[in-house]
Amino acid sequence: MKHLPRLSAALVALAASTAAQPQNYVPYAPPFPVPHIGTRVQVQVAPTPAVVRRQEAQPIEPIDLPASIDQGIDLMYIDPDIAPDVKRRGGLADSGNFDDWTGAPIDLFTAVNPGYTELRRGLMKYNQRWGDLPQVEVPTGTVVLKAGAKDERIPLLRKRLGLPDGTAFDAALAKAVADFQQAHGLKADGVAGNATLRSLNLGAEHYQRVIILNMERALRLPTSEDRGRYILIDAGAAKLHMYENGKRVDSMRVIVGTAQTQTPMMAAQLRYVSLNPYWNVPPELVISLVAKNVLDQGMTYLTDRDYQVLSDWTDDAVQVDPATVDWAAVAAGKKEIRLRRGPGPWNSMGQVKFMLPNDLGIYLHDVPETSKAAFATDDRWISNGCVRLEDAKRLQRWLFEGNNPSASGTPDERVDLADPVPVYMTYLTAEPSADGVAFRADPYNRDAPLLARVKLPDELQTASVE
């Protein structure tokens, strides 16, 4: 019988006279393939060095991240003045002999983001509920294990979930499977298919690492003592939260980037809104849809739908007579043009954009009524990197403290906020729950390359004697 690594019974206070360096601790070998993580990341950017006002689908170009940016953990601070006091907290951790990436109780000594404390407590609950169970492997197979099933793996499954010895897939086993699924981000149907068995076989130690990894992410966010207002966008959950004086006051669903066009981890000041915005048509749609329809239907296809051809992607671009464009070359992908659509119910930007100037071209925006149904689905990782809002008007009211600006009818009308509001975009794959921690999927596959950096208590003890 193959045994998985066993998790220690409780998280002990982590202190050591000498910090464990990466070369000194026992590396974690994840029981799954880990992709290489380099120094480049693909995000949506415009092909112009100016502060971008691009719409949501410019060509994807690789961006070199600063050496100080830890992919999947750190935020890119577009406005450094709003960065949380990471250095101060790190200094306190060092002075208390706490090691990095250990889930140490730093929050007992200094203010941190509430998510850190909640996940630390959730780690203890998780350990108590799942960590002390027998870490035996249950092989996957072609037969789904469910109520009434007869299979030689059922005794192993019962043992793995801490139930009395037996061969029956009874109600108690179905409940134990459903409880595990609920806690680990799986469909809680009480049926042990291969996805559930693979999750079980990762072992409790794997999930402890995931919790600590997310604690590190939370450590980079504003603390409970930070005054004022800010917005937190969690691309891992596809949700937006509004905070005032350290407390969450409202939330909504959002739509974020796909795995290929990821919403980056960044922080910037939301400085103004754009009312009745234009929509820059994604280049691939210009090729596959618009250009071909122009060839079939003529220039009226553009004028009837309020499309405009522009000279380039800069703010100073001028309109171009569409009759002068070689539409056959555009349809063939041999010529690129900038095409935008005027404000209206057809506009993919909806009625308002929320601008946080940055060279990555990332912003928040409304959607037309015909697109609202997408927010009711669980698959909300479908944008080109920007953040689509479930209720843009509600966010606008909050930002302007109930005094919503009235649109004059002018396209792309800029209205500045009286005071900029910080926006933090992070990525969490575990969140506190009543039972401890609830795990989520990792749509951007950011966890796997980082889990080896997490140091568990046993590894620290090993490193301290070497």
* C-alpha span between 18 and 97 (Å, rounded): 8
**Considering only 17-26, 61-70, 260-269, 375-384, which range has the smallest mean pLDDT?**
17-26
The reported pLDDT for the residue numbered 110 is 86
Non-local CB neighbours of 387 within 8 Å, separated by 6+ positions: 233, 240, 254, 255, 256, 263, 362, 363, 364, 365, 425
pLDDT greater than 70 at residue 459:
no
The reported pLDDT for the residue numbered 318 is 94
pLDDT greater than 80 at residue 180:
yes
Can you give 48-83 as a three-state secondary structure string?
CCCCCCCCCCCCEEEEECCCCCCCCCCCEECCHHHC
pLDDT tens, position by position, 417-436: 999 999 999 999 999 988 88
pLDDT tens, position by position, 220-241: 899 888 889 999 999 999 999 9
Residue whose tokens read 């103004």: 272
Architecture of domain 136-202: Orthogonal Bundle (1.10)
Q: Domain coordinates of the chain in residue numbers?
A: 136-202, 279-341
The reported pLDDT for the residue numbered 315 is 81
Non-local CB neighbours of 350 within 8 Å, separated by 6+ positions: 277, 365, 366, 367, 368, 392
Is 434 exposed, middle or buried (CB count within 10 Å of its CB: 0-12, 13-18, 19+)? exposed
Average pLDDT, the chain: 83
Report DSSP state, residue 266: E
CA-CA-CA-CA torsion sign (191, 194, 195, 197): positive
pLDDT tens, position by position, 188-201: 999 999 999 999 99
The reported pLDDT for the residue numbered 48 is 30
The reported pLDDT for the residue numbered 66 is 54
* Whole-number Cα distances in Å, 165 to 131, 159, 193, 311, 421: 19, 7, 21, 74, 57
pLDDT tens, position by position, 270-279: 999 999 999 8
Report how far apart the first and last C-alpha atoms of the chain are (Å, whole number).
31
The reported pLDDT for the residue numbered 295 is 96
pLDDT tens, position by position, 406-415: 888 899 999 9
Other Cβ atoms within 10 Å of 373 Cβ, number = 8
Mean pLDDT throughout 14-41? 33
The reported pLDDT for the residue numbered 344 is 84
| CB half-sphere exposure, 65, CA atoms < 13 A | 21
Check: CB of residue 42 under 8 Å from CB of residue 320.
Answer: no
Bridge partner residues of 19 (DSSP): none
pLDDT band (50, 70, 90) for residue 346: confident
Mean pLDDT throughout 133-141? 96
The reported pLDDT for the residue numbered 6 is 37
Check: CB of residue 116 under 8 Å from CB of residue 126.
Answer: no
Check: CB of residue 428 under 8 Å from CB of residue 233.
Answer: no
* C-alpha span between 87 and 91 (Å, rounded): 6
Mean pLDDT throughout 131-138? 95
**Considering only 11-15, 330-334, 387-391, 437-441, which range has the smallest mean pLDDT?**
11-15
pLDDT tens, position by position, 38-91: 333 333 333 332 333 333 333 333 344 555 566 688 888 888 778 776 666 656
The reported pLDDT for the residue numbered 284 is 84
